[in-house]
Amino acid sequence: MLLRVVLKSLARRRLRVAVAALAVALGSLLVSSLAVLSLSVAQQARQELRAYGANLLLVPQSVSAPVGLGALGMGTVAEAAELPPATLEQLASSPPTDVIAYAPFVYGLARLGDGSQSADVVVSGTNLAQAQALSPWWQVAGAWPATLPPTGPRQALVGTDISQKLGVAIGQEIALSGPGGQSSWRVSGVLSTGGSEDSQIVMDLAPAQSLLGRQGVDLVQLRAQGRQPALEATARGLEAAIPGSQARVVRQVASAESSVVAKVQGLMALVAMLVLVAASLAVFSTMATTVLERTPEVGLMKALGASPNRIGLMFTLEATAIGAAGGLTGFALGLAVAQAIGKSVFGSYLPASLWALPATIAVALAVALLASLWPIRRAVRIEAARILRGE
């Protein structure tokens, strides 16, 4: 009977009830999609930020202070000490546990072309596979160099700036002469990284070393797990393991990772809070109006012998119905929205977490019931005595 009363009463005010349910739906939609997003953002951002390359730099002890990669090169490198070839063997045979990826780099000047057409360029030698793993955002138009081409000269990547300035195209054969000799190269692709590599010629480590007449490497970029304190420990461990080396933490990247995620999540939580407050106000006004409108009806029910508990239960059921309807709608919409956002932001569908449905409905119910608390209390306190008086 009570259920019948509740349903009929809801049906009679369906427009207003629908508006309140929609407000709850939008509220819980945002909260649930933000919750799903926030978790995936934390996950995905960690993955994507991991792509922000090195957070540790291994350099020879005597090198003064290579602040960033862009400051390297041009002269200073040639005079500096280098990391001996043994370094790489050591890293390869017993890599530190926390290190996810690393790549060695050797830098030097070489002359591109001959005669009047020639220009000085920075040549960078690295383990291309390792560099790619360390910096997945490197983009190559054309192809990565084949390690040992079946025919023709060895292959190299040309930075996009060089390609544009000097008019070097994919497939073109170029001549490079450095301290170690002269050789000819085929441009397999144009590299763009947004960093200093854009104005370098990037090739495999061994041929670069022979071109530049070098034995060791200038630095090793490493990507290690963990945040500041853990990184420092890893750095000290590396220094101890590799004599003559100095390990530095690249601070900006390491701290950016955690603070970006925290900021995004904080913003999402704030938005969610505001939205919930708005939804609560909508439910509150609907329930308050309902109670006000139905004061005679409630008085009548009390005069007929309804206990305050029954009256409370009746309005609680109505609020629950609004909350449940809103929650279900919100979940369905939220799922769609989260998928759409996931698709456009991360290029992948987000996994629908199992607890998203109960969580969304719990949020919706909590909003609906909390917002109805005061109106329901009012309804419970309506005095039956006023009914007979016709107030």
Which CB, 111 or 310, lies closer to another protein? 310
Q: Any idea what DSSP says for residue 384?
A: T
Cα–Cα distance for residue pair 194/266, rounded to 1 Å = 30
Least separation in angstroms between residue 9's CB and another protein is 6
Smallest gap, in angstroms, from Cβ of residue 314 to another protein? 11
Please, which residue, 8 or 377, has the CB nearer to another protein? 8
User: H helices within 150-294, ranges in order?
Assistant: 160-165, 205-212, 228-241, 251-293
- Report whether 49 contacts 223 (CB < 8 A): no
Q: Which of 9, 38, 44, 221 binds another protein (CB under 8 A)?
A: 9
Instruction: Give least dist CB 10 to another protein, A.
Output: 9
The nearest distance, CB 299 to another protein, in angstroms, is: 8
The answer to whether 148 contacts another protein (rule: CB under 8 A) is no
Q: Which of residues 279-318 bind another protein (CB under 8 A)?
A: 296-297, 299-308, 310
Does position 387 bind another protein by CB under 8 A?
yes
175 phi, psi to nearest 5 deg: -105, 135
Find the binding residues for another protein in span 48-107 (CB under 8 A). none
**109 lines the binding site for another protein (CB under 8 A):** no
Nearer to another protein, 88 or 382 (CB): 382
- With H, G, I as helix, E, B as strand and everything else as coil, classify residue 366: helix
- Interaction of residue 5 with another protein, rule CB under 8 A: yes
**At CA 84, angle to CA 78 and CA 86, rounded to 5?**
160
* Tokens standing for residue 228: 């500041």
Give residues with Cβ within 8 angstroms of 346, minimum separation 6. Answer: 40, 44, 48
Q: Cβ neighbours of residue 158 under 8 Å, at least 6 residues apart? A: 168, 174, 187, 189, 190, 191, 201, 202
> Is residue 343 involved in binding another protein (CB under 8 A)?
no
Minimum CB distance to another protein, residue 7 (Å): 10
Residue type, 325: A
Q: How far is the CB of 12 from another protein (least distance, A)?
A: 4
Q: Does 264 bind another protein (CB under 8 A)?
A: no
Q: How many CA atoms lie within 13 A of 367 on its CB side?
A: 38
Q: Smallest gap, in angstroms, from Cβ of residue 42 to another protein?
A: 49
174 neighbors 185 (Cβ within 8 angstroms): yes
Q: How far apart are CA 106 and CA 103, in angstroms?
A: 10
Closest CA to 329 of 15, 4, 6, 20: 20
Site for another protein in 205-244 (CB under 8 A): none
* Residue whose CB is less far from another protein, 215 or 307: 307
Please count the residues of this chain forming the interface with another protein, following the rule CB under 8 A.
28
Task: Tell me which residues touch another protein (CB under 8 A).
Answer: 1-2, 4-5, 8-9, 11-12, 296-297, 299-308, 310, 383-385, 387-390
